[in-house]
């Protein structure tokens, strides 16, 4: 009974802020500012969404981020799974040395300026690939996938495959991947969310606005709304301030919808994947 009550309290604490953002985005901004919106929207209006979608660049940002997310996630998952499988094989000579070298990069990096110079020297600056290649493999996700293969794919399965004439590539594609739906779903969600929320690489390495991801476009929209508010010193300043606050709630919804749509399709595999390490050690 106590556990149920605690779980309900946790649910309320986690879910209410999300619910509030939804109702605040369609409520009268004056009512939101006065604290009159608590459980139900008040003075329903979609003016905030109208102002957001009036920006043509928003659709360009959506298109760019969708492409970055799709291509980047495909590259991420492909490279992570192949590298993790190779590092999980006991017959790979020096695998612990390779793993230690890779893990070293989690704690030490060259810094922003050397990375910037490297990106420019590679010809990636202000290109499509600068948004998908520099972070092609997450070391943390690589470790998770490697642990999955070590604890889930038995050595006997590989021995049976060798007896049937399986090569390493065929064994990986025909046997390992079909058995790895759970970890693949985990990686897809982790990488896709990271790409969808990515703005720092775009801020540093992109100068062409037509290549901006959605998060940078939304940032510019909010900055422009704030600037318009600051430039107006008369009675219209309060109106612009309320409109700006309403847009802030709206852009959260606009930016979150694709991820919310994706999650239900891979929820089953995701839950199974994140629990594997807990139950198998």
CA angle 66, 68, 72 (to 5 degrees): 125
More confident residue, 154 or 233: 154
Under the banding of pLDDT at 50, 70 and 90, the label for residue 279 is very low
Q: What is the chain's mean pLDDT, rounded?
A: 80
Which of 1-15, 152-166, 204-218 tops mean pLDDT?
204-218
Tell me which of 120-129, 137-146, 272-281 is least confident.
Answer: 272-281
Q: What pLDDT was estimated at residue 91?
A: 79
Tell me which of 26-30, 49-53, 71-75, 244-248 is least confident.
Answer: 244-248
Tell me which of 110-119, 120-129, 154-163 is least confident.
Answer: 154-163
The rounded distance, in Å, linking the Cα atoms of 113 and 204 is 10
The rounded distance, in Å, linking the Cα atoms of 97 and 65 is 36
Looking up tokens 């990686």 gives: 187
Collapsing DSSP states into helix, strand and coil, what is residue 199?
coil
Q: Averaged over 108-129, what is the pLDDT?
A: 88
Q: Per the structure block, which two tokens stand in for 36?
A: 């009159």
Q: What pLDDT was estimated at residue 103?
A: 86
Query: By percentage, how much of the chain surpasses pLDDT 90?
Result: 11
CA angle 59, 63, 67 (to 5 degrees): 165
pTM of the shown model:
0.79
Under the banding of pLDDT at 50, 70 and 90, the label for residue 3 is confident
Count the Cβ atoms, other than its own, within 10 Å of residue 200.
11
DSSP state of 127: S
- CA distance to 2, 11, 17, 21, 279, per residue, from 8 (Å): 10, 5, 15, 20, 25
Chain centroid to Cα 253, Å, comes to 15
pLDDT digits (tens, 9 = 90+) for 9-34: 888 888 888 888 888 878 877 777 77
Q: Which run of H or of E encompasses 190?
A: helix 181-197
Could you tell me which residues come within 8 angstroms of residue 31 by beta carbon, excluding any fewer than 6 positions away? 37, 42, 43
Tell me which of 20-24, 177-181, 207-211, 261-265 is least confident.
Answer: 261-265
DSSP state of 176: I
CA-wise closest residue to 116 among 215, 208, 194, 206: 206
Q: What pLDDT was estimated at residue 229?
A: 55
Is residue 23 within 8 Å of 40, Cβ to Cβ? yes
Q: Averaged over 69-95, what is the pLDDT?
A: 90
The rounded distance, in Å, linking the Cα atoms of 138 and 119 is 18
- Domains in the chain and their CATH numbers? 14-45 (no CATH), 46-280 (1.10.3720.10)
pLDDT digits (tens, 9 = 90+) for 143-193: 888 988 888 888 778 778 777 777 888 888 888 888 888 888 888 888 988
């Amino acid at each position: 009974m106590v556990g149920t009550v605690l779980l309900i309290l946790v649910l309320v604490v986690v879910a209410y802020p999300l619910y509030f953002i939804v109702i605040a985005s369609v409520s009268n901004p004056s009512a939101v500012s006065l604290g009159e919106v608590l459980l139900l929207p008040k003075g329903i209006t979609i003016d905030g969404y109208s102002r957001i979608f009036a920006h043509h660049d928003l659709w360009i940002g959506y298109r760019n981020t969708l492409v970055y997310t799709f291509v980047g996630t495909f590259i991420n998952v492909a490279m992570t799974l192949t590298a993790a499988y190779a590092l999980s094989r006991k017959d790979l000579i020096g695998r612990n040395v390779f793993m230690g070298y890779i893990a070293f990069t989690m704690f030490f990096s060259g810094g922003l300026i050397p990375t910037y110079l490297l990106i420019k020297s590679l010809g990636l600056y202000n290109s499509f690939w600068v948004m998908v290649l520099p972070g092609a493999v997450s070391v943390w996700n690589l470790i998770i996938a490697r642990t999955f293969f070590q604890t889930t794919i038995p050595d006997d399965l590989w021995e049976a495959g060798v007896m049937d004439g399986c090569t390493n590539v065929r064994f990986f594609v025909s046997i390992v991947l079909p058995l790895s739906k759970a970890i693949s779903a985990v990686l897809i969600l982790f990488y896709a969310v990271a790409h969808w929320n990515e703005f720092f690489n775009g801020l540093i390495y992109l100068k062409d606005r037509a290549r901006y991801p959605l998060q940078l476009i939304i940032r510019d929209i909010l900055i422009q709304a704030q600037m318009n508010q600051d430039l107006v010193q008369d009675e219209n300043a309060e109106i612009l301030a309320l409109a700006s606050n309403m847009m802030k709630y709206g852009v959260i919804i606009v930016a979150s919808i694709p991820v919310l749509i994706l999650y239900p399709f891979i929820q089953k595999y995701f839950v199974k994947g994140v629990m594997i390490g807990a139950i198998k050690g």
